[in-house]
Structure 1
Amino acid sequence: MERIESEHVVFGAGLVGGFLGAALMASDQSVGWVVREATRKKLQSGLKITDYHDNEATVTDLQFVTPNPEGLFDVPAPRYLWLTVKCTALDAVLQEIKSLVGPETIIICLQNGLGAEDQVQQAFPNHTVIRGVMAANVAELQPGHLHRGTQGGIMLPKQSETEALVPAFQQPALPLRLLDDLTGLLWAKLQLNLNNPINALADITLKQELDQRDYRRVLAAAMEELLSVAKAKAIELPQLGPQPPHRTPKLLRLPNWIYRRAGHKVDAKARSSMWQDLKEGRQTEIDFLNGAVARLGEELGVACPVNQALTQLIHDVEAGKRARGIGARELWDLVS
């Protein structure tokens, strides 16, 4: 097997991992890629990344890292191992990555939802495990072309290991931001991710969805439930978007003509990752997003019927009991 030595290894180069890996390469970083065979074929000629500011970068000659017949990765351990697989895949890959993790390897988790880093830390109790957030929407416009359609980038807790990463993020298509409050950040990102099932159920672009008030009313109600749960846990959410978290539901409920003037600008090409999962028949992360809000609400005695209903609707689509393409008024009636 070819010996590949990389400062970074991206494990699971889907939307987030693909964009991250390409941005690192465009910043002159050495990157190894662990991907499925179908993804490897798709990226064989390279990967193009763009964003809504018209930044663009193309990388070629991706260094793919593959296991040997025994399932072990016979390559030098990277300094940084970026886990970008979905929460639903974590259990399956924790055993697989053991041969990639060296004594000094830092593991960075970029899953949506809550609790992913706890699973990884339990598997690697003597390693530094860092939880981060990809606070932006990434969509695949065509094979080999990923697009960041909203503001935000990689967000990590501010500490010595992450401060050392600053030189690795010189590509403007993917900014790096270091924050002091990781818990609040994770909940703020979760608040934004509550829209994932709405967009997936609507089966339209994010802009088309957010242009319709009834879809926004569903999202506002789901967000208010999350804010109630966060308040019960004494968690303060930082501002990630153009409005403070507690004002966002009020903005979403505004009439269309007012919202379009005051609302968050969304790239016309953007869709949620959950839309992509349902389109390709993959299991979604709904239980780690809206489902997690509903479970925590039940534990704390905070009613979360909208998040519970959205979770069930996604499970119905996954099971083939319901089709995508639910209209705005119909969705509002289903969850209210």
Structure 2
Amino acid sequence: MEKILVVGAGAIGGITGAFIADKGYDVTLFDVDEKHVDKINKDGLLIDGIRGKKRIKVKAVKRIKGKYDVVFIAVKSQYTKDALKRVLPHLNKDGIVVSLQNSINEEVIASKVGIENTIGCVIGWSATNVKAGHLKFTSEGEFIIGKLNGKMDEKVEKVRNLLQNVAPVKVTNNIMGYLWAKLLINSAIASIGAIANANLGGIVRKKKSLVALAMVADELVRVAEKVGIELEKFEGLDPSFFKIDSYDDFKRVLAILKIAGKRHAGLRSTILQDLEKGRKTEIDYLNGYVEKKAMEEGIETRLNKEIIKIIKEMEAGKRKLGYENIEDVLKLVNIPQKWLNFKEKELELALFNLPEKLKFEAAANMAGVFLMGSVAAFSKAFERITSSIIGKLFIRKSEWEISNIVLSKFLENAGENIAKMIKEGYDLKEGANEMAKAMLLFFNNANMENSVKARKGIIEIEARNCIFLNGSEKINIKEKIDFPVCKHLFNGFKKVFKADYEIKDAMCKNGKSCVFEIK
């Protein structure tokens, strides 16, 4: 049987290890808190909360011995390097190390054990320490796991099998997107909570701290995007919703934060808790991690830099805890005075105002749904004809066969007209290069991600997020449509630009993307 070690038997590590052990696995908990270890060994680990009360027998140690196949690290980020020093002599060859921590420690872990043996993890559930030998499960959620290189292999599957004994597990090929999404949320809430000396409910009730929280979130999201991180939704929150480019965006972000503040009013900053107890905080591994990445890319972060400075002064005892500290953050916020004078009533409907990027995306998706909806409507109309005696005798085609013929002719005509408008509007000529430019313009306006390569007289365009495929899936007619339908559209382009093309791969045919060769 595989041997599993959990370094850090606090709320997250203790519950994870105990639940896995309860399913019969060989699990050892390591912790430096001797009273906690002794209590676990004597009475078992008591876990109560939303899942009820349970005492689980699990081995706990004050010193690591033996060799282990899988190690979960669940210590605060500032102790990661020390934890690795303790673990490495006890890790079997090709043993796996999984981070169950705040911030992004996977890069440090990978530098010691290799990227192939490192698995990142984002935790959506929460728990808290009650006292020695007693932990409390406070909210449900899932694990999201994956490798930094995006590979899905037997090691990821092994960790998934272990963690599903605790909570649902989602496997991703973009773990950094999830890690950054959680990091940004944690960094904004934890830092402003510490500076305002308030829980989340207190932050959003007061105008100054609410505005500071919104503007810090905006700055952090922009850093992630400029660094090249493809942010993922975390716990239903889309990080792009926190970007502020207009007064409407500003009001929307405030509205989202106020709702979050009401739902999680008692959420207290971990940085604030450490400051109150006179301990070193995780600021270097939350906002500090973002700042390090920003500096590497030459990105200016006025607010984040000031926040780190303020919290460092608090750590050193040079600044007292108090709401007045929020003024030092606000003085760097560069927004019109009108915004600061917003009225609470303005926020009531602001939540439904989508960011510009998402409005554009929604419009493109709606166009695909509308087109496919029209085809479905045609099929209903044609059904009356095809099912009649005349239809059976003379037409001899199903309603969907006729609908696909209509769709093909419609798209070819539409493609020809679109191509003519592009050609005239952008003063394009004939030929493969010009047709490729027109196709790229179409993909961009249809909100389809794309890239282009040129080689030996051939231009290759790769596109993703097909509006035709998405539209058919949304109204459940994908199996009825004669895909790929884009061929009809680009046949229209072909007539105008006097060039040829070939579809080499297509998402509608289970390809990872759509690949077109224009020649």
1:217 touches 1:332 (CA, 8 Å); kept in 2? Answer: no
Deviations 1:269-312 (A, max 9, x none): 53333333333333222112112222322332322111112111
Equivalence for 1:70: none
Find the counterpart in structure 2 of residue 184 from structure 1.
177
TM-score scaled to structure 1, two decimals?
0.80
> Do the aligned residues in 2 keep the contact of 1:27 with 1:168 (CA within 8 Å)?
no
1:271 corresponds in structure 2 to: 268
**Residue in 2 aligned with 1:227?**
221
1:74 equivalent in structure 2: 65
CA RMSD of aligned residues (A): 3.3
Check if 1:92 corresponds to 2:82.
yes
Q: Are residues 1:145 and 2:128 paired?
A: no
- After TM superposition, the structure 1 = structure 2 runs for residues 32-71 of structure 1, keeping only pairs within 5 Å, are 32-36=28-32, 37-41=34-38, 43=40, 45-49=43-47, 54-67=50-63
Partner of residue 145 from structure 2, selected from 156, 164, 175: 156
Report the Cα distance in structure 2 between the residues aligned to 1:20 and 1:207, rounded to whole angstroms.
29
Residue 30 of structure 1: aligned partner: 26
> What do the CA deviations read for 1:217-251 (whole angstroms, capped 9, x no partner)?
22222222222222222221011133311113569
- For residues 142-291 of structure 1, the aligned pairs below 5 Å read 144-149=134-139, 152-157=141-146, 158-170=152-164, 174-194=167-187, 195-248=189-242, 254=251, 259=256, 262-263=259-260, 266-267=263-264, 269-291=266-288
Matched-pair contact (CA < 8 Å) for 2:243–2:249:
yes
Q: Deviations over 1:4-44 (max 9, x none)?
A: x8732111223332232233334444321110124325645
Which shifted more, 220-229 or 197-206?
197-206
Look up the match of 2:507. none
Aligned length: 321
* CA spacing shift, 1:88–1:330, aligned 2, 3 Å: same
Match of 1:301 in 2: 298
- Counterpart-to-counterpart distance in 2, 1:30 and 1:191: 35
Q: Is the 8 Å Cα contact of residues 97 and 117 (structure 2) preserved in structure 1? A: yes
Q: Which amino acid is the alignment partner of residue 184 of structure 1?
A: G
The answer as to whether partners of 2:72 and 2:99 remain within 8 angstroms in 1 is yes
Pairwise CA distance, 1:137 = 4.3
Judging changes above 3 Å, is the alpha-carbon distance between structure 1 residues 139 and 155 closer, same or farther for their aligned structure 2 residues? Answer: same
Give me the whole-angstrom Cα distance separating, in 2, the residues matched to 1:74 and 1:260: 46
Alignment partner for residue 99 of structure 2, among 109, 114, 119?
A: 109
- Which residue identity is paired with 2:182? K
Q: Does the CA-based 8 Å contact 1:22-1:58 persist in structure 2?
A: no
More helix by share: 2
CA contact (8 A) 1:78 1:102 kept: yes
Q: Cα offset for 1:329?
A: 5.5
- 199-208 or 236-245, which deviates more: 199-208
Deviation at 1:126, TM superposition (A): 9.1
Q: Structure with the greater relative contact order (CA < 8 A, sep ≥ 6): 1 or 2?
A: 1
Query: CA-to-partner distance for each residue in 1:100-129, whole Å, 9 max, x for gaps?
Result: 211242111233323x23332333349712
Preserved CA contact (<8 Å) 2:204 2:257: no
Q: Which moved more, 1:160-169 or 1:175-184?
A: 160-169
Q: CA–CA distance in 2 between the matches of 1:7 and 1:265?
A: 43
Q: Which amino acid aligns with 1:97?
A: V
CA distance, structure 1, for counterparts of residue 40 and residue 277 of structure 2: 18
CA distance in 2, matches of 1:256, 1:117: 30
Change over 3 Å in CA distance of 1:281–1:201 after alignment to 2: same
Contact 1:132 1:156 in 2 (8 A): yes
Q: CA deviation at 1:317?
A: 1.6
Distance 1:201 1:183 in 2: 28
1:20 aligns with 2:16: yes
Larger radius of gyration: 2
Q: Which runs of 5+ in 1 are unaligned?
A: 68-72
Unmatched tracts of structure 2, length 5 or more: 147-151, 334-519
When the two structures are superposed, what TM-score results if normalisation uses the length of structure 2?
0.54
Matched with 2:409 is none
Displacement of 1:318 in angstroms is 1.2
